[in-house]
């Protein structure tokens, strides 16, 4: 009996399963996440002296940026970073960003605008400048450049999510939700109003969310170039009420609850 084909099949199956008789399973080494800006610049060879990047020539920046892209961006290196929020701004899309404290002689900033949650606005609306958060995601930008007229290292995190932290670094306890029975919400001016009920409902249901009555937050602009108003009809404590916010006026469940 020719057993060679059987033995070959057995060997191939064992190799595919990484379980050859008598051999240990292959261990896949976990990729260490990026936690501080030091982890980003650690991939740059020491002869480039990343702490001296403020004095680099354009050619040196190009070399360093190529290394950062190859080792961090192209590999989608995981990142888990803790920092204080500087702002949540709309630059074509909503961007959460911050300055990182650093002693390198150049500015270091982190930006996140691509989110794991398909509807991140309610959680973004709950953030305030100075809030401590832990952000998780993957590196999609690491670049030395001149940003806002300053020599900078710009870092980006994609597929991002975050949790709020207390000052001691532990997760912040959930904030109590203020029950607002939203009936309707319209935004516009004159005779042109857009129904924004669903957007406002999602924002008001996020505890501690506060947002502005403008096209960016409300996702509608029925009269471009004109000041508009947001009119909310709701029930609270069994009473029907109306809340009106002018252009860029602040809106939150707390303000609706406090209205007489």
Averaged over successive runs of 10 residues, the pLDDT of the chain (260 residues) comes to 47 47 62 96 93 92 98 98 98 97 94 96 97 98 96 97 96 91 97 97 95 98 97 94 97 93
- 44 lies in the same domain as 145: yes
What is the C-alpha separation between 201 and 211, in angstroms, rounded?
12
Tokens of 130: 């100075």
3-class DSSP state for residue 225? coil
> Residue 116 has what DSSP assignment?
S
> In the prediction, which pLDDT does 254 show?
95
Would you say residue 10 lies in a domain?
A: no
> In the prediction, which pLDDT does 175 show?
87
* Total-model pTM: 0.85
> In the prediction, which pLDDT does 51 show?
85
Which of 82, 114, 106, 121 has the alpha carbon at shortest distance from 209? Answer: 121
Identify the domain containing residue 127 by its residue range: 37-164
> In the prediction, which pLDDT does 28 show?
58
Number of domains in the chain: 2
Tell how many helices (H) and how many strands (E) occur in the chain: 7, 12
- 153 lies in the same domain as 223: no
Would you say residue 21 lies in a domain?
A: no
| CATH value at residue 101 | 2.40.50
> Residue 47 has what DSSP assignment?
G
Tokens of 107: 């500015």
């Amino acid at each position: 009996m020719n057993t060679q084909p059987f033995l070959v099949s057995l060997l191939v199956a064992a190799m595919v399963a990484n379980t050859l008789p008598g051999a240990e399973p292959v261990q896949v080494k976990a990729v260490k996440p990026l936690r501080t800006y030091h982890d980003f610049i650690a991939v740059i060879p020491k002869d480039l002296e990343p702490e001296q990047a403020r004095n680099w020539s354009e050619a040196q920046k190009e070399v360093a940026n190529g290394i950062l892209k190859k080792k961090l961006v192209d590999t989608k290196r995981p990142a888990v970073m803790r920092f204080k929020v500087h702002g949540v701004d709309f630059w074509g899309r909503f961007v959460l960003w911050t300055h990182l404290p650093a002693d390198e002689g150049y500015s270091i900033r982190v930006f996140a605008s691509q989110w794991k949650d398909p509807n991140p606005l309610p959680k973004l609306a709950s953030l305030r400048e100075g809030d401590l958060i832990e952000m998780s995601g993957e590196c999609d930008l690491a670049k030395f450049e001149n940003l806002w007229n300053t020599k900078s290292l710009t870092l980006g995190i994609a597929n991002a999510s975050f949790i709020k932290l207390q000052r001691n670094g532990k997760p912040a306890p959930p904030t109590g939700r203020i029950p607002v029975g939203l009936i309707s919400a319209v935004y516009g001016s004159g005779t042109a109003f857009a129904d924004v009920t669903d957007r406002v409902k999602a924002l008001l249901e996020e505890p501690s969310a506060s947002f502005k009555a403008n096209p960016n937050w409300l996702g509608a602009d029925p009269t471009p170039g004109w000041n508009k108003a947001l009119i909310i009809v709701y029930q609270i404590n069994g009473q029907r009420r109306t809340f009106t916010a002018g252009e860029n006026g602040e809106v939150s469940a707390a303000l609706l609850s406090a209205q007489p």
